[in-house]
A = this chain, B = another copy of it.
Amino acid sequence: MNAAHHHDAPKLSRNQSEILSCLRNSGEPLSAYAILDRVRKSGISHPPTVYRALNDLMKKGMVHRLESRSAFVACGHGACDGKFAFAICRACDKVVEILLADKDQALLLGLAPDEISPEQVTVEIAGLCNDCHPSRLA
């Protein structure tokens, strides 16, 4: 039932495992310092330790960074390779990771002008989730 059972889990260091678990358990985007608060009990106590693990996990595609929030989130699919977008509720910060179809990815890269050859695309869609929608109020 837990992530260690997945065949696609590369070997992670203790720090990386702790921080990935933290993000998976939280279910919401967390800042590096919010992560730090939650893993102090596990013996992680300095910002660079958190940022190092986050950078490693991002390289593996298991954690993504929400640029518009300076926050980090576990990949919604275990791991993925840059072909994703995020939808984010601006009221409650709920995040949904969207896998991009190849054609959408291609379309996005195709937006780049001639003078810049595209490598990677960041897409973050802000809006309101159903729970936060005004029509749903009281």
Contact = CB atoms under 8 A, between A and B. Distances in A.
Given A108-B123, A108-B125, A124-B67, A116 B88 contact: yes
Interface string A62-77: 0000011000000000
B113 A85 contact: no
Contact of A124 (B94, B121, B125): B121
A123 B126 contact: no
Nearest to A103: B107
Closest 3 A-B residue pairs measured CB to CB?
A: A67-B67, A118-B127, A87-B116
Interface of A: 67-68, 85, 87-90, 94, 96, 98, 100, 104, 107-109, 111-113, 115-130, 133
Contact of A119 (B104, B107, B116, B126): B126
Contacts of A108: 123, 125
B111 A104 contact: yes
A113 B112 CA distance: 25
Contact of A89 (B107, B116, B121): B116
Contact of A113 (B96, B113, B123): B96
9 contacts: A68-B122, A94-B116, A96-B112, A98-B113, A112-B127, A117-B133, A119-B126, A120-B127, A121-B125
